[in-house]
Amino acid sequence: MKKTGILFLNTLRRSRMILLAALCCGIALCFIYGLMAQLYGDEYEGIPVGLIAREETAVTRDFRRYLTEDLGMQVLESTDEEHLNTELVERHISAVVEVPAGFEAALLAGQPVPLLVSFLDDYANAAFVQAYLQNYTAGIATLAAGAGGDAARLQEMTDEMQNVSIPVHTIQGGFDAQIEATQKNAFRQIIGFFLMFGFVLAFGTSTMLFDDRRTGVYNRVRATNMRTLQYLAGTCSVGIVSAVCLIAPFFIYTAATGPTIGIRIWQALLLCFLYTLFVVAVALVFALYLSTKNAITAGVIGTATITCVLGGSYFPLESAPEFLQGLARATPQFWVMDAVSNLQKNTSAAWWQNALVLCLFALLFFILAGIRYVQGGKKQVQA
């Protein structure tokens, strides 16, 4: 145990730059996640419309409330018709709605006039806005008929209707659900970044062990009575610490801000830990089997790129051909992303088989590394 600790501390001192790089990448993941959330908020803030109120009455105030609260629209109100038309042409708003003068009086007289609406060629938003404006006009006309031409009574009735009206289900009405969906998707993207960055960190571990082979430190360690398990534990622990520095800032950020990631923190941590074991094992294999740094560099970058792309770290595998979907199961990245996706859809989904597969991946490469260590690394290394 003492020998393992000494080896670990020695490797840790040599890995200071790797640990710093991992910590910087971990902080970057937090910023990336924050940017994703900000982009989401900009996308789902509701349909922007311009409003021109030619009169200020109880009906106008109720209509303004209907647009902002019931429909969740972004209302840009102005009396400058030219300014709103410019905003419409420049696509800053989707429509311009005008409440004409005498609108309330016409309602009370039983002769409602239509609200004036201007669109460009945004047919989807045009249909949405037009349908709800017609619905509002029909409803307020019914109230005006019940008020019997009394403006004060009409105001009382509109105030009463706010307390008993059926809520309108719009994009803004489901905003919370949309936020949760996007936060879950952003979390999957962050896990994908971790799978890539974690593999790249293996390059540092591999080159350090390679230097030990080149300088003779590796052979001197083997000449002692240190067991294979002790050597692997001492060298691999630093790789695990690097992974912790990489992912810990994001999980601390998640715990502090409380977004909906759709998966329990301990489940995500366990999946990341098992994947880290695999990465460390691969780093050992590269360091013990390859004979040049160029070969290690090509091995790490090539393996990381191919397995991350194939395993679904960057894009959903549902869009890939069936052949690639089947081939993706040969990568550990697939089993991590598959577990995260299934748990986000159903928190009681079976994911232990994914964890078991990750254990088998790590065990396979640790066995390969152990075999080479026992053999003594017969290949000569080159600077």
d(CA 302, CA 67): 54
Per-residue pLDDT, 180: 75
Residues 7 and 63 in one domain: no
Backbone angles phi, psi at 238, to 5 degrees: -65, -40
Shared-domain flag, residues 352 and 211: yes
Residues 264 and 359 in one domain: yes
Residue 233 included in any domain: yes
Mean predicted confidence (pLDDT) in 81-102: 86
Do residues 130 and 192 share a domain?
Answer: no
Look at residue 164 and tell me whether its pLDDT is greater than 70: no
Report the C-alpha gap between 255 and 129 in whole angstroms: 40
188/240 same-domain check: yes
Q: Are 195 and 311 in contact (CB under 8 A)?
A: yes
Residues 26 and 51 in one domain: no
**Minimum mean pLDDT range among 43-47, 147-151, 320-324:** 43-47
3-state secondary structure of 49: strand
How far apart, in whole angstroms, are the C-alpha atoms of residue 48 and residue 77?
11
CATH assignment of the domain containing 54: 3.40.1710.10
Is residue 296 within 8 A of residue 290, CB to CB? The reply is yes
Residue 199: how many CB atoms within 10 A of its CB? 24
Residues 139 and 180 in one domain: no
Q: Is the pLDDT of residue 222 over 70?
A: no
- pLDDT, residue 170, reads 46
* 381 within some domain: no
Kindly state whether residues 247 and 138 are assigned to the same domain.
no
Report residue 168's pLDDT band, with 50, 70 and 90 as the boundaries.
Answer: very low
User: Residue 382: inside a domain, yes or no?
Assistant: no
CA-CA-CA-CA torsion sign (177, 182, 185, 186):
negative
Q: Which domain holds residue 210?
A: 2-40+176-375
CB neighbour list of residue 295: distance below 8 Å, 6 or more residues apart: none
Q: Are residues 147 and 223 in the same domain?
A: no
Please tell me the distance from the alpha carbon of residue 247 to that of residue 120, in angstroms, as a whole number. 47
| Per-residue pLDDT at 120 exceeds 80 | no
Per the listing, tokens 């992974």 go with: 243
Q: What is the number of structural domains in the chain?
A: 2
Token code pair at residue 185: 């998707």
| Per-residue pLDDT at 275 exceeds 90 | yes
- Three-class SS state of 116: strand
Q: Cβ of 148: how many Cβ atoms within 10 Å?
A: 9
In a domain, residue 117? The reply is yes
pLDDT (average), residues 141-158? 81
The pairing of strands 116-118 and 95-99 is antiparallel
Output 352-358 pairs: Cβ under 8 A, ≥24 positions apart.
354/271, 355/270, 355/271, 355/274, 357/332, 358/271, 358/274, 358/275, 358/277, 358/278, 358/332
Specify burial of residue 84 (Cβ count, 10 A radius: 0-12, 13-18, 19+): buried
Residue 106, pLDDT score: 87
pLDDT at 3: 64
In a domain, 369, yes or no: yes
Domain finish residue from 171, 188, 204: 171
Which one has a higher pLDDT value, 335 or 242?
335
- Together in a domain, 242 and 306: yes
The token pair that represents 198 in the structure block: 């974690």
Report the DSSP pairing between strands 48-53 and 95-99. parallel
User: What's the average model confidence in pLDDT over 105-127?
Assistant: 78
Residue 383 lies in a domain: no
pLDDT for 36 beyond 50: yes
Last residue of a domain, one of 171, 196, 220: 171
- Range in 71-80, 192-201, 257-266, 313-322 the model is least confident about: 313-322
Q: How many angstroms separate the CA atoms of 118 and 81, rounded?
A: 11
Q: Which residue has the higher pLDDT, 133 or 269?
A: 269
Kindly state the helix (H) or strand (E) to which residue 360 belongs, with its residue range. Answer: helix 352-375
Of 109-123, 223-237, 265-279, which gets the smallest average pLDDT? 223-237
Give the tokens for residue 75.
């209302």
**Tokens for 369?**
């590394």
Q: Of all residues in the chain, what percent carry a pLDDT higher than 70?
A: 83
- Give the Å distances, CA to CA, from 301 to 13, 52, 362: 25, 59, 19
Same domain, 141 and 277: no
Look at residue 27 and tell me whether its pLDDT is greater than 70.
yes
Q: So what's the pLDDT on residue 224? A: 67
pLDDT, average across residues 226-231: 68
pTM above 0.85, yes or no: no
pLDDT at 382: 54
- What mean pLDDT comes out for the span 230-243? 77
Tell me the average pLDDT of the chain.
80
Domain match, 341 and 236 both? yes
Specify whether the backbone of 73 is left (phi greater than 0), alpha (psi in -120 to 50) or beta. Answer: beta
Does the residue 200 lie in any domain? yes
Question: Where are the alpha helices (H) located in 95-174, listed in sequence order?
Answer: 103-108, 123-147, 151-164
Q: Which one of 144, 171, 198 terminates a domain?
A: 171
